[in-house]
Amino acid sequence: MIGKTISHYKILEKLGSGCMGTVYKAKDTKLDRFVALKFLPLHLNQAEEEKKRFVFEAKAASAIQHHNICTIHEIDETDDGQIFICMDYYEGQALDLKIKQGPLLLNEVLDIALQIAGGLEKAHQKEIVHRDIKPGNIFITGDQVVKILDFGLAKLRGRTTLTREQTTLGTVFYMSPVQSQGERVDPRSDIWSLGVILYEMIAGERPFSGDYDQAVIYSIMNEQPEPLTGLRTGIPRELERIVDKCL
C-alpha cells in the first residue's frame, strides 16, 4: 500500500490498525496537505454488516462539527471495491501512550477531561453515542488539543443496531456495565468510560482489572475501585467525587 496513489491521495506510511481498519498517512495531491486514510480490512470488505458499520462511522462523525472531534472529509471506494475514509491528520500522541509515561499532572488531567467532555457533549446533542471511549481513541495534538477518534462503534439513539443480538462492542476495561451485558446504551455509557479514563490518568492504573475479559467484567459489575485519595496524594475530594459520580 505504501507509495500507491488512490484517488488523489498518495499513501506515505502506515499509522496503525485495529479491528475496524488500517490507517495510513497520505498526501492530498489536490490540496497539498497531509491526511489520514482509514481502510476497511480486506477480509471484511465483503461482509455487508462491517461495510455498513464502517460507512456509518463516516456519516456519524461527519455530522459532528467540534474542535475536539476528528474531522471527516470524505468517504470513497477504490477501484477494487475497498472503502476508505479521509480524515484530518494530526501530529502528537494518543492518550494511552501518554499515560504509560506515568500519572499526569492534575492540570493536564483536568484540561484533557474537559476537552473530551466537550466533544462528547456535542456528540450527545446530536444523539450519537461513541461506545468506545478509551485512551487509544483520544489523541492529543502538539498544540495540546484533544481529538476524539474512531466513531466506528457509534450509533444513533433510537436507530436499529448494526450488531447481532448479544454482541458487545468496545474495549472491555472501558466498557460500561450496561454495555458489557450487551444491553442498549445511551450517553451515560460514554460518561462512564470517561470516568475510567479520568481514574487512569490520575492513578496511573485502571479502576477495574482482570486477566481475561470475563474477569474484568466481573470486576466492573461487582467491585468498588480503590479510592483515588488512597492511591495518590493531593487529590481534591471534589475531583474524586466527580470520578466516582462518572462511575
Q: Phi first, then psi: what are they for 60, rounded to 5°?
A: -65, -50
What is the distance between the alpha carbons of residues 141 and 113, in angstroms, rounded to a whole number? 15
Residue 179 to residues 174, 187, 193: CA-CA distances in angstroms?
Answer: 10, 11, 10
Asked whether 72 and 23 are in contact (CB, 8 A), the reply is no
Beta strands at 128-129 and 155-156: parallel, antiparallel or unpaired: antiparallel
The active-site residue out of 28, 79, 96, 132 is 132
The letter for the amino acid at 5 is: T
Phi-psi label, residue 82: left if phi above 0, alpha if psi -120 to 50, beta otherwise: beta
Q: What are the cell numbers at 52?
A: 455498513
User: Which of 53, 3, 86 lies closest to 159 in space, CA to CA?
Assistant: 53
CA dihedral sign of residues 222, 227, 228, 232? negative
Residue 235 to residues 118, 242, 243: CA-CA distances in angstroms?
Answer: 23, 12, 11
What is the distance between the alpha carbons of residues 111 and 44, in angstroms, rounded to a whole number? 38
Q: What are the cell numbers at 80?
A: 477494487
Is 132 assigned a catalytic role? yes
What would the DSSP string read from start to end of 196-234? HHHHHHHHSS-SS--SSHHHHHHHHHH-PPPPHHHHSTT
Q: Which residues are catalytic?
A: 132
